Amino acid sequence: MRIYRDLHVLPDHARGAAVAIGNFDGLHLGHRAVLTAAQETAHARGIPSAVLTFAPHPRRFFVPQTPPMALEPFHLRLRRLQALGVDIVYIARFNAPFSQQTAEEFLAQVLVAQLGVRHVVTGANFIFGHRRGGNAALLQDTASRYGFTYHAVDAQADAQQAYASSRVRQYLSAGAMAEAAAVLGRPYEIIGRVQHGQKRGRRLGYPTANIIPLSSQLLPAFGVYAVRYAVAEPLAPESAPVQWRPGVAYLGTRPTYAGEQPWLEVHALDTPEPLYGHRLRVQLLAHLRPDMSFATDEALQAQIAVDITKAKQVLEAPHA
C-alpha cells in the first residue's frame, strides 16, 4: 500500500483510482461497505483502489478546545486499510486553506486536478466543502461534468440502528464491549509499548505488562476487563497470523494509590513472558467491573482473584 501526504506532486501511477472518501475513524462496518464498493469498481475497471482521508480530523481542527478522541491511532487505521487490500491512501492535510475550499473547488482542485479520480465512493450522508456546501447529491449531479463516476453507499445498519463512530463511542463509555465490537466488526483494541511500572502487581502476586494509552485515543469505561493480547511485531503486516493470549486487564488511574494518569495493566492468564519494550495489542472483550479504590493491599488481592475467575469464565465461553 502506498501512502501520499503531499497531494500536489503525485506520480502518474498514483492517479486515476477508484477513491473512497471519509474520515474512517474506527473503520467500522459502515466504513467497510464504502471501501468495498470502491474496491469492487477498481477491480472491475483494472484501476487502483484508494482512500482519501484527512488529518487532523476536521472536528479537531474546527473545535481544538474539545477535540474528538480517536477510536484508534492513525497508524493502526493505516495498517487496517492495508490489510483490507487498499492500494493507495491519500492523506489530505486539513488546515485553514483546505477548510476554506468551496465544494466546487474541492471537486475541481483536489479530486480532479490532484488525484485525477476515475470513480468516487462516499457514504450517502457525506458532507464536504466550506460551510458544508457539498453533499452526495452535488457529487451525483456534477461527476460526469468533471469526468468521473460516483456512487453513494446507503447507511449500513443492524437491527438496532445505523453503524456509526458515535455509536461506538457511546458503547465504549458504557463498557458495552460486545456491542461496540458488533459495530466495529472486531473487538476494541488498545495498542502501546510496555513500560516499566512500580512493580506493585508483582508485589501483590499478579505481575502486569503496563501500557500508557495515547492521550488522543478514546478510552472505554475504567475498570477491569477480560482481554486477549498479542505482541505487535513491527515488521509484520496486519494480515499476518496473530498469536492471541488470554489475560485480565485493569484500565484506570489506580485510585487506590492516588494515581492520575490512565494506565492499562495486563495480567497474563497463561505462562507470562518478558514483554518490556514490546508493542502490545490488547483487545478488550468484556467489562467485568468498574474501577474502585481499596483500603488495603489484601482487599485488592482478594478482588483480583475474583476478577481472574470471572475473566477465565468469559474467555472460556464458546463465543469468546
Predicted confidence (pLDDT) per residue in 274-285, tens digit: 788 888 999 999
pLDDT value, residue 17? 98
Q: Averaged over 185-190, what is the pLDDT?
A: 96
For CATH 2.40.30.30, the residue range(s) in the chain are 188-316
Averaged pLDDT for residues 260-289? 89
165: exposed, middle or buried (Cβ count in 10 Å: 0-12, 13-18, 19+): buried
Fold exhibited by the domain 2-153: Rossmann fold (3.40.50)
Of 134-143, 196-205, 225-234, the one with minimum mean pLDDT is 196-205
- The confidence band for 6, taking pLDDT boundaries of 50, 70 and 90, is very high
Report the C-alpha gap between 103 and 133 in whole angstroms: 6
Choose the weakest-confidence range: 7-21, 64-78, 159-173, 227-241.
Answer: 227-241
Q: Name the average pLDDT for the chain.
A: 90
Which of these CATH numbers, 2.40.30.30, 3.30.540.10, 1.20.1740.10, 1.10.599.10, describes 188-316? 2.40.30.30
- For residue 58, what is its C-alpha cell? 476536521
User: Which of 57-66, 111-120, 297-306 shows the lowest per-residue confidence on average (mean pLDDT)?
Assistant: 57-66
Write out the three cell numbers for 171.
Answer: 458503547
Q: What is the pLDDT of residue 107?
A: 96
Alpha carbon distance 232, 238 (integer Å)? 9
Q: Which long-range contacts does 141-146 make (Cβ < 8 Å, 24+ apart)?
A: 142/104, 142/107, 146/107, 146/108, 146/111, 146/112
State residue 85 phi and psi, 5-degree precision: 90, 15
> Is the model more confident about 271 or about 14?
14
Q: What is the pLDDT of residue 258?
A: 67
Q: How confident is the model at residue 211 (pLDDT cuts 50, 70, 90)?
A: very high
Dihedral of the alpha carbons of 252, 257, 261, 262, in degrees to the nearest 10: -10
| Closest of 207, 285, 200, 288 to residue 246, by C-alpha | 285
pLDDT at 290: 95
Overall average pLDDT of the 147-174 stretch: 94
pLDDT value of position 237? 58
pLDDT digits (tens, 9 = 90+) for 60-114: 777 766 767 889 988 889 989 999 999 999 999 988 889 899 999 999 999 999 9
- Per-residue pLDDT band for 12 (boundaries 50, 70, 90) equals very high
- Yes or no: say if 88 and 14 are a contact pair by the CB < 8 Å rule: yes
Whether the pLDDT of residue 295 is over 80: the answer is yes
Q: Is 109 helix (H, G, I), strand (E, B) or coil?
A: helix
Q: Which residues pair with 225 in a beta bridge?
A: 249, 287
Q: Is the pLDDT of residue 187 over 60?
A: yes
What percent of the chain has pLDDT above 70? 93
Q: How far apart are CA 190 and CA 122, in angstroms?
A: 28
Say yes or no to pLDDT of 200 above 70: no
User: Which value, in Å, is the radius of gyration of the alpha carbons in the chain?
Assistant: 22
Structure confidence by residue, pLDDT tens digits, 32-53: 999 999 999 999 999 999 999 9
Confidence of residue 206 (pLDDT cuts 50, 70, 90): confident
pTM value is 0.90
Closest CA to 73 of 222, 244, 182, 192: 192
3-state secondary structure of 237: coil
What is residue 201's predicted lDDT score, i.e. its pLDDT?
64
204: confidence class by pLDDT, cuts 50, 70, 90: confident
Report whether pLDDT(235) > 60: no
pLDDT of residue 261: 85
**CA–CA dist 305, 100 (Å, integer):** 57
Which residues of the chain are in CATH 3.40.50.620 domains? 2-153
